[in-house]
Structure 1
Amino acid sequence: MKIGTIILAAGDSSRMGGEPKQLITYKGQSLIRRITESALSLQRGPVVVVLGANRERILPELAGLHITVVDNPNWPTGQASSLKTGLAALYITHKDIDSVLVLHTDQPLVSLGLLLHMLEVNQEEGKGIVACRYDTQISVPALFGRQYINELLQLEGDKGVKWVVVRHRNDCSEVPFEAGAIDLDSRRDVEMFAQVQLSV
């Protein structure tokens, strides 16, 4: 199965006081480098990273990686525009992909093991979507069969992939991932996460 991966990293980290959360370090690596290397380690197909705000600061973190970097000038309109930018970049060059994997940069505990487990679940259960469950939501990381690409392209504004997941729960395999609730969106999130890591 050929999988195209889209990493959404275009936001301006407004709740971080302008400091790009993509550059937060965890275990000696920036979050953007960490998630991109995990995606590449799947070795299942092309990886596209969508940048927008803070592009010039983030880009050096991706040096030397075999990926496609695309810019989303419309990033202020919301996450949907970045998803569409990534899908367009994937589909123009790789029309033969079977599935699309969507990842965010602000979930530090996403691992290669989790992504491989998602692919196993996809193979075993054969549903069109595999998404992660944490807290009260089912969301990213999420894997979509190519039959959902058009629906993903129709998202607008701040609507993310979970809008498609919710509409098709009967065709969705859920993977428990409680650590997905750790989402480094603000300075407070980062401080709390650092404290937890120190206490482990």
Structure 2
Amino acid sequence: MKIGTIILAAGDSSRMGGEPKQLINYKGQSLLRRVTESALALQRGPVVVVLGANRMEIVPELSDLPITLVDNPRWPTGQASSLKTGLAALYLTHKDIEFVLVLHVDQPLVSLGLLLHMLDVQMEQGKGIVACRYDTQLSVPALFHRDYITELLQLEGDKGVKWVIVKHRNDCSEVPFEAGAIDLDSKRDLELFQQVSMEL
């Protein structure tokens, strides 16, 4: 199974008071470095990281890794533009990918173990989508068969991959991932996570 991974890391962290959340440190690594290394550890295909805001600060964090960095000048228009940028970068150079894995940078507890489990579930159940369930939603990390690339490219604005997941619920396997609800969007999120992570 050849997988192309897209890591969405273009946001401006406006609710963090300007500090790039991509560079927040957790267990000795930035959030961006952690998720990128997990994706690389799959050893299943190319990894693309989509950047936008704070690019100059973020690039050095990944400069030594065998990944493709792409810029999304339209990042303020919403997440869909970053997804499209990542898909274009993947498909231009790797037309043989079978699946696309979409990751966010602000879920600190995504691990290689979780990603491997998602692949196992896909192999066992044979569905075209594998998505993670937390709170009341099915969302990222999410794995899509290449048949869904055209539909992903049609997303606009702030519509993320969950729109495609919900639409094709009958072709989606669920992976429980309650820790996915930990999503560092604001300074308050970060403070709460830092308190809890001391115990992890």
* Matches of 1:109 and 1:121, distance apart in 2: 19
3-state secondary structure, aligned to 1:132: strand
Query: TM-score if structure 1 supplies the norm length?
Result: 0.99
Instruction: Write out per-residue CA displacement over residues 92-137 of structure 1, whole angstroms, 9 at most, x where no aligned residue.
Output: 0000000000000000000000000000000000000000000010
Q: What's the counterpart of residue 77 of structure 1?
A: 77
Q: What's the counterpart of residue 58 of structure 2?
A: 58
1:118 aligns with 2:121: no
3-state secondary structure, aligned to 1:150: helix
Q: What's the counterpart of residue 157 of structure 1?
A: 157
3-state secondary structure, aligned to 1:173: strand
* Matches of 1:77 and 1:199, distance apart in 2: 38
* Matches of 2:137 and 2:176, distance apart in 1: 11
User: 1:198 offset after TM fit, Å?
Assistant: 1.9
3-state secondary structure, aligned to 2:139: strand
* Matches of 1:48 and 1:115, distance apart in 2: 16
3-state secondary structure, aligned to 2:173: strand
* Matches of 1:52 and 1:35, distance apart in 2: 17
* Matches of 1:184 and 1:91, distance apart in 2: 30
AA partner of residue 173 (structure 1): S
User: 1:199 offset after TM fit, Å?
Assistant: 3.5
* Matches of 1:121 and 1:25, distance apart in 2: 31
* Matches of 2:55 and 2:198, distance apart in 1: 31
* RMSD value, Cα: 0.5
Query: TM-score if structure 2 supplies the norm length?
Result: 0.99
Q: What's the counterpart of residue 67 of structure 1?
A: 67
* Matches of 2:64 and 2:112, distance apart in 1: 19
* Matches of 1:21 and 1:172, distance apart in 2: 30
1:25 aligns with 2:40: no
Q: How does 1:125-164 map to 2 (within 5 A)?
A: 125-164=125-164
AA partner of residue 105 (structure 2): T
Instruction: Write out per-residue CA displacement over residues 14-35 of structure 1, whole angstroms, 9 at most, x where no aligned residue.
Output: 1101111000010000000000
3-state secondary structure, aligned to 1:69: strand
AA partner of residue 37 (structure 2): E
Runs of 4+ in 1 over 6 A off after TM superposition: none
1:169 aligns with 2:169: yes
Q: What's the counterpart of residue 191 of structure 2?
A: 191
Q: What residue ranges of structure 1 are gaps of 5+ in the alignment?
A: none
Q: What's the counterpart of residue 182 of structure 2?
A: 182
Q: What's the counterpart of residue 95 of structure 1?
A: 95
